[in-house]
Structure 1
Amino acid sequence: MRLLVMNPNTTASMTAAIRVTATAAAAPGTEIIAAQPRWGPESIEGHFEGYLSAAAVLDRLATFDTPFDALVMAGFGEPGREGAQELLDVPVLDITESAAQMAMMLGHAYGIVTTLDRAVPQIRDRLLTAGLLQRCAAVRGTGLGVLELEEDPERTVEVIIETAREVVRAGAEVICLGCGGMAGLQERVAVALGIPVVDGVAAAVKFAEAVVGLGLTTSAGRSFAPPRPKVIGSWPLSTHLRPSPGRAQNTPRPAAFSAQTSGI
């Protein structure tokens, strides 16, 4: 089994950290490929950068030239997953819903610790859309920017633990780390708190393995039906950024949706 784990930003060090966490969570025989968009923001801290990233991720997927059995999208609370579900013929999981779903298996209420406070409404909206907000006790920001997470790892862990304690006081029995850049910190936070801490990357990898193992994939019956063939000017952009792009063996889902029928 081969899983593609997609970092939604263009920071290579974060992609590497996500790869380490995904590989540690994967079962023997599961191969992890970690990738990032060819263009887009270096970090995502708001709706503007989120939508830019969503387009960049879809662009990367449309030109990805290595086959994979499932996709894990490693952006917390960010848009684009539904587009990937339409585009790909393999299961697509994101770390937001995967973390929350796993947390609800472990306790009555869960909470999320994320980066900046401005990310909180975006995450809550995502949980509401997914039907997962009812059992969320609280979402709190640490005040750390995404790129700041890597600057001082010890300070990052301290701030996450301090913020997580606030979330526990709000009623959470399980904590979710609300940023792909926090990958790998769950064990230290769990020891400090004495309750389960879920890393979304690890949770999504395990769910992806289960879905693929059961032979299941996204339903194309209605909501996530393949994109209709139409002209999309200058897309995918990555085609113009490298000399010899390869078409993804996983995409597009319908044979009719191609560079030719899309007018590219």
Structure 2
Amino acid sequence: MTTVLVVNVNTTQAVTDVIAAAARSGVSATTRIVALTPRFGPASVESNYESHLSAVGVLDAVQGFDGEFDAVVHAGFGEVGREALQDVLTVPVVDITEAAAHTACLLGRSFGVVTSLDRTTPAIGDRLLLAGLAGRCAGIRSVDLPVLDLEANPEVTVKAFVEQARRLVEEDGAEVVCLGCAGMAGVHEAVAAALDVPVVDGVAAAARLAESLVGLGLSTSKARSYAPPRAKDVRGWPLRGGEAG
């Protein structure tokens, strides 16, 4: 059985539960999803500061996991930290931002992203640019709802996402819509029903891609960019497992 760790970037268990359900919806019955919540970090990630804090909590959660696993999903849309996991792990690591965008590129010429807060759109744009996918992105729109409020009023959340997704398609020319936040995975069905375009849930896509990489016997190249960190003294290192290298 393949085991995929799906790591929430924030410390809110309710968000982890939503992420876990989305990941399980995307994989086969023979794949086990284990969802992790960091033991420290921000309750939600909505700024550069919080994104960098969360990256350390995610590393700690993965390195402190007591058991074997075959792949990791980094469940933060537009957040940093995926590269650090690739440095220290030998199993495949898939980020939900890139997974959503890569999947969307297989389904249409252009895609758009609907996310939570407007202030997070530059970070998403940066991640897409770094991944070489920005040229296929027709636009990034927000619903102006904090991550932790997405589940508070489902009717309002769904309506807001459908409205912004429709604008991406009708005004920006997107042919595929990506949901740009792990905490809103449950909105997928409503947006797909309202619009006649494919809708990609980054968590489900990332889990399936991670499962596929394991099945293909492939993992991160260690030739250069993601080679293991050189052994050195790292003072005050807070992560479980001791030394950074």
Sort the TM-score into its range (normalised by shorter chain).
Answer: over 0.9
Instruction: Quote the residue 1:102 is aligned against.
Output: 103
Q: Which structure has the bigger radius of gyration?
A: 1
Aligned-residue Cα RMSD (Å) equals 1.3
Identity of aligned residues (%): 53
Partner of 1:244: none
Structure 1 residues not aligned, in runs of 5+: 240-246, 248-258
Query: Separation in 1 of the partners of 2:244 and 2:229?
Result: 14
Shift of residue 53, structure 1, vs aligned partner: 0.3
- Write out aligned runs for 1:114-263 (5 A): 114-168=115-169, 169-237=171-239, 239=240, 259=242, 262=243
1:4-153 to structure 2, matched below 5 A, reads 4-153=5-154
- Is the 8 Å Cα contact of residues 62 and 236 (structure 1) preserved in structure 2? no
What is the DSSP-based 3-state SS (H/G/I as helix, E as strand, rest coil) of the residue aligned with 1:40?
Answer: coil
The two structures have a TM-score, normalised by structure 2, of 0.96
Opposite residue 227 of structure 1, the aligned amino acid is P
Q: Distance in 2 between matches of 1:171 and 1:2?
A: 38
SS of the aligned residue for 1:73 comes to strand
1:62 CA drift (Å): 2.0
- Aligned-residue offset at 1:263: 8.8
Q: Could you tell me how far 1:184 is from its partner in structure 2? A: 2.4
Indicate the structure with greater helix content: 2
Tell me which stretches of 4 or more aligned residues in structure 1 moved more than 3 Å. Answer: none
For residues 102-132 of structure 1, give each alpha carbon's deviation from its aligned partner in whole angstroms, at most 9, with x where no partner exists. 0011111000000100011110011000000
1:203 counterpart letter in structure 2: A
**What is the letter of the counterpart of residue 40 of structure 1?**
G
Q: What is the alpha-carbon distance in structure 2 between the residues aligned to residue 212 and residue 236 of structure 1?
A: 30
Give me the TM-score of the superposition, normalised by structure 1: 0.89
Aligned residue pairs: how many? 243
Q: Which amino acid aligns with 2:142?
A: G
Which string of whole-angstrom CA distances, capped at 9 and with x for unpartnered residues, describes residues 208-227 of structure 1?
Answer: 11100000000000000001
Gaps of 5+ in 2: none
